[in-house]
Amino acid sequence: MYMNIAIDGPAGAGKSTIARRVAKELGYLYVDTGAMYRAIALFLLRSGVDLSDEDAVSKQVKDCHVSLRYREGQQEVLLNGEDVSGLIRTEEVGNAASASSIYPKVRDQLTCLQRELAAQENLVMDGRDIGTTVLPHASLKIYLTASAKTRALRRAKEYEAQGKAFDLEQIQRDIEERDDRDMHRKISPLAQAKDAVRIDSSQMSIDQVVERILQLAEEEIK
């Protein structure tokens, strides 16, 4: 049986960064499910479909194929064969991912792929519903969170480092709205699994969070 570590939490909590570091330290495969949903969102945005129309989205998504590829240890997200890793990290795509991921057809398509990966590898997988829905029997479950203000500041620093313009207040509003959507959607809402370890990273560094999760993983492995 493979060791699966599930890391869930709200947008901007640092899940991808932390999960990637933990996977590297353990020598495990890293699966960024958020990137997979963002790839589908990019496809839907390009198609011009109304994201509030479930039937239209469900029909359109049938023509969308998302897969993962690893080159030199780096995960690449492929959308119908195109590497879109550098195109899916905008606020527009993130908001579209939150809006479209509420639909069963979208979730079913990716959940099957995610479970197949977990059945074949030791891995660290992060997202919104990994420990509650995708991998309910994961060896270790983490719920990583931080205050909305902290998450907004982190996102703003990313934009600043990239030389992109940003509105801090708007970023925080987007985060709070996304939290509300994710936590109240009918299908697989964002929630802490009963057996998950909660880690609030508001006052923690990346190294501290990684160290804490590695300690928990080592205890589970033993």
17 is in an annotated binding site: yes
Q: Is 104 annotated as a binding residue?
A: no
34 annotated ligand-binding residue: no
Is 12 annotated as ligand-binding?
Answer: yes
- Is residue 118 marked as binding? no
* Residue 10 marked ligand-binding: yes
Look up residue 58 and give its amino acid: S
Residue reference for tokens 């011009």: 48
Q: State which amino acid sits at residue 188.
A: S
CA 28 to CA 134: how far, in whole Å? 18
Residue 14, annotated ligand binder?
yes
Cite the beta strand spans of the chain per DSSP E.
4-8, 29-32, 66-71, 74-79, 82-83, 123-127, 140-145, 197-200
Nearest to 152 by CA among 169, 172, 167: 172
Question: Is 11 known as a binding-site position?
Answer: yes
Query: Which residue ranges make up the annotated binding site?
Result: 9-17
Query: Which residue ranges make up the annotated binding site for ATP?
Result: 9-17
